[in-house]
Chains A and B, each alone.
Chain A
Amino acid sequence: MCDVIWCKKEVDGSPCETVNYLDPFCFWNWEGTINCAECRTVYYIHMIQGHMYKGPEERPGEEPDTSPLYADKPLEGYRNYMFATEGRTRPFECMPRSFLLGEADMVKFSIRGKPVRGWRPQPESAGIAGSFPYHWDIQNLSPDVWEEYQEKIRKGEVSDW
């Protein structure tokens, strides 16, 4: 293993098979415990210059010092855990100021009334910087916003500039 932890922990009779990505600027030189994003098994790792000097060793019963930013499941269609999924992955809020740390602001429309990609279906846990990897199909992914958009078009609230 290297700077991913490919978790093989037995869960309900089959291996967990989750790839936990240890992002380079955080883990290049790092020692501590980290959880698997899916089964939450806690591992001890000691990384020196990007190499896994020790670990991953299971540390049952211990609280993790940190979490991966991102993890996915290549054997299950690359199902994934985004950053800032509570209890599973580390937050990536990019929040520069404390007063902005409250509820994620779900901006739906730009000042020209065009839909922008800042609202659900992103789970709230994805935080304001959350983003989704698949084709941006508003009509299917977010029918309520689509409806609202059609309404805006009808009312003439959408402009080019």
Chain B
Amino acid sequence: MAQEKRDVEINSIQDSLDMLTPEIRPWPVTPPPSAEEVSTQVYTKRKAEDFLGWVEDNVKFEKSFGKAEALAGLKVLDIGLWRLGHKFAASMLAEAGAEVVCIEPPGGDPLRQLTPFGREEYMLADQETGEKCGIEFIAEMVNQYAITLDVDTEEGQQVFRELAANADVVIEALPPGYADERGIGYRHLKDLNPGLIYAWTGIRGQWGPDKDRLSKHGQWEIEPFACASNAWIHSTGYPQDQLPRGKGGDPTRAGVWIADYVAGEQVAVNIMAALYWREEFSGEGQFIEVTGAEALMDITDFDMTWYGFNKSIKARTGAWDPNLNQYEWNPCKDGYMMIGGQSDRLWYRIGMCIERDYPQFGRLIHEDPYLKEMGARNALHALIKTYTLTTRWLRDINRVQAEEALLEYEIAAGPVLFVDEVCEFPHFKYRPWIYNCESDYGTFLYPTSPNAYQFDTPHRLKWVGRRLGKDNGEIYSKWVGYGPTRLAELKTEGVI
């Protein structure tokens, strides 16, 4: 837990490299608040000790490890390269207790090699072999067993069919038609295993005029194409009119492979529904296809409806919500501050709070007759005026000062946090959303599953990504009964 602070002198990058280890840079730097403190300082104030004590007794993360798992016994086979969607879907099922086996080619998923700006020092080394692996791969392989198999060989295809004959679910993210061409697609597997639920996930789809393709150099389409093929990218970033002329106004990326995550979650929902259908009604599995492009399109708000209404193209509005006032983040002394209001109650409370330091705010905002009507407040010019004056207040204070002042008036307010602050945020350390686990690659700081707070069958992280082929022995023996001799043979042939 928290260790003593010490001063370090950084003169070159060399001095900072081993600061990534938990011995030098511990987490948490400060301990989380105690249950006692939270109860007396927060819950009692709200007269909610009873209810919240009952909730905490049942859902606190530490209590989850002895509990049952909802998907215990469900066998899932996961195969794909270059993508996070299938890995995320498989991890969600694995966090709920399914036995999930991820198949990589004997050379490993190329994702193992991806690291920010290609910098090896950000990769983690296998504690036994010293082999480096990218953090993204490790983080997205939660609770999955790692085996190798070359499905480009005939023998590998036969092995795959045997594995799939034993599975409840196959999650596949190979290029369209790739599995089918090799005789290991759903059409082939359903004859061996009629109960099999088979989910393919990709970018734009396996079928249709603009279906997923490989480039002539063999490069796969990966996540950004999904973001690009709907209005997602268009909606991010600032409109150029909100920035100094000639200084941007470009759309930006979401910061993460959002389409893969959203598609992955939808894959998991599809699989759960198909399982219910199989168990309760049909007794059979089915084929499922989920694309990143469509998964994102599903959450592009009202953009399409509005276009269908009168051909409007919803503009980017940067940090300002186009439907509400106040509902935005604006710059302050040490970053950005999110403030939420809109209803009369909150609108005037925000003003009362700001007026204490900046009386002009009330004069220009509360006395403006145009801003008294809730609907009228949402006009673009009203946002410009309100946020200019709000920022006039924010420029002199830090995020924490703004938050304290606004919370005193019971206003929804929260700083835009950097990730180091997130990891040290008392709230997240307390629940805890952030936690340490031991992995093949050393201590690993990770966010708890958001599905961890269930009374009876909480989802949980047991391990993160493993070294390539780590579970070959165990899984091939358990699933298809291969002994050491057979495995050695497959190894020599380069099949695993």
**What residues of chain A have their CB less than 8 Å away from a CB belonging to chain B?**
2-4, 19, 21-28, 30, 49-51, 65-66, 69-70, 72, 74, 77-78, 80, 82-83, 90-97, 100, 105, 107, 110-111, 116, 118, 129, 131-135
Contact = CB atoms under 8 A, between A and B. Distances in A.
Contacts, number: 122
Given A23-B242, A24-B391, A49-B333, A78 B370 contact: yes
B421 interface: no
| Residue with the greatest number of chain B CB neighbours at <10 A, chosen from A3, A25, A129 | A25
Given A24-B391, A25-B318, A94-B241, A83 B381 contact: yes
A50 B330 CA distance: 11
A4 B384 CA distance: 11
Interface string B346-372: 000000000000000001100111110
Interface string B235-246: 000110111110
Nearest to B373: A135
Interface of B: 234, 238-239, 241-245, 308-311, 313, 315-316, 318-319, 330-331, 333, 363-364, 367-371, 373, 376, 379-382, 384-385, 387-389, 391-392, 394-395
Contacts of A77: 369
Contacts of B242: 23, 25-26, 92
A76 to B, nearest CB: 12
B368 A72 contact: yes
Contacts of B367: 74, 78
A110 B371 CA distance: 27
Given A25-B238, A66-B244, A93-B241, A50 B385 contact: no
A107 B381 contact: no
B379 A131 contact: yes
B368 A2 contact: no
Contacts of A111: 308-310
B331 A24 contact: yes
A69 B384 contact: yes
Given A22-B388, A78-B368, A129-B380, 10 more contacts: A24-B391, A25-B319, A80-B370, A91-B241, A94-B241, A94-B316, A95-B315, A107-B310, A131-B379, A135-B376
A30 B244 contact: yes
The 3 closest A-B pairs by CB, nearest first: A94-B315, A50-B395, A133-B370
